[in-house]
Structure 1
Amino acid sequence: MKSLMRLFRSEPSIARPLYEQVVARARQPHWYREGGAADTMEGRFAVLATLLALTDVRLERGGEEARKASVGLTECFVDDMDSQLRQDGVGDPVMGKKVGGLVGALGGRVGAWRKAIDGEESWEAVAGRSFYRGAEPGEAALAHSVAELKRYWSGLEGRSDDALIGGVLP
């Protein structure tokens, strides 16, 4: 059965170092202090999902190995969310729905950040929804988050596919 599952999944370990580095980035205190992201489960999820979305967009724009790593990155996210929810006591009957909702939230962010990166929507508008879910963060907090997200994106663009897949973040 395990070998059959491998036919339908890329190897999550290809993106494990990258995923771990994105998680570490999402834990940086400045997102919550200066950036005003809520220091709650939902707020931490919003920061992680935002950074993963930007990283995923960059991988999508890379070569074949980067695109494979994009799939692996999402699989690492699913594995992590499944584990986190189980630790919080969520049982099997609702697990799929919960994880599906989180993956959908990540996918929505990927689409929104594509638009911001392509200039179809402002970074401020996308950050407002992605980080703050429509809450008013304050001008200084939003400016901090947008500046840091742009810096992160610029660094992602400046990294080779191999460096990114290996977990070397800006």
Structure 2
Amino acid sequence: MSLFSRIFNRQPDPKEEIRPLWHRLVGLARDPAWYAECGVADTLEGRFDILSTMVALAMLRFEQDPATIPSSARLTELFVEDMEGQLREAGIGDPTVGKKVGNLVSALGGRTGALRESLAEGDAALAAAMERNVTFIEGGSPECVARKVKNLAVVMTGMPYEHLLDAELQL
């Protein structure tokens, strides 16, 4: 939406409906348990890995109900906005921000596909997917991350769409 449209259009931004969920997903990704209990690396890469996993789980939940597919696009828009802001804050300049954001969105797509497949295949496949897609410290536990991801996927799957939008999620 252009600046002109935002100023003069009285329609609410459709992303606002999904913003509480976005903030909740960011909060879940910051939960110290990922880092302290499971051994996810407490680095930019490790934090991105968990955040993109949380977003991917929400996107998979949206796939269950075709009426909620627009929410997936809006969630992706918020993801892009946040990643672009984070890169700029880190001092990444304009010439490379677009390419880096594109790479991050591609990683999100890959993570979504890996989760879709591994959740359907079972616990061992999910742990293997976490090992490939999450940055761990030495001795980190892909099985621990897989357990938490599976639990959250089960919660999201059983949750009515409206409750998901209201960000009523717990690890």
If the TM-score is normalised by the length of the shorter chain, which range does it land in? 0.7 to 0.9
2:93 equivalent in structure 1: 91
Cα deviation 1:112-159 (Å, max 9, x = unaligned)? 111012228811111111223xx6854x72222111111111111111
Provide the residue aligned with 2:51 in structure 1.
Answer: 48
Q: State the shift of 1:69 in Å.
A: 1.0
Residue 44 of structure 1 deviates from its aligned partner by 0.5
User: Is the Cα contact below 8 Å between 1:37 and 1:131 reproduced in 2?
Assistant: yes
Q: Structure 1 residues 85, 54: closer, same or farther in 2, change over 3 A?
A: same
Number of aligned residue pairs: give it.
Answer: 162
The aligned runs of 1:2-81 (5 Å cut-off) are: 2=2, 3=5, 11-64=14-67, 66-81=68-83
The letter for the 2-side match of 1:61 is Q
- Distance across 2 between alignment mates of 1:89 and 1:11: 30
1:161 is the counterpart of 2:164 = no
RMSD: 2.2
Task: Output the TM-score relative to the length of structure 1.
Answer: 0.87
**Residue 37 of structure 1 contacts residue 137 of structure 1 at CA under 8 Å; is this kept in 2?**
no
Q: Which amino acid aligns with 1:55?
A: A
Can you give the 5+ residue segments of structure 1 that lack an aligned partner in the other structure?
Answer: none
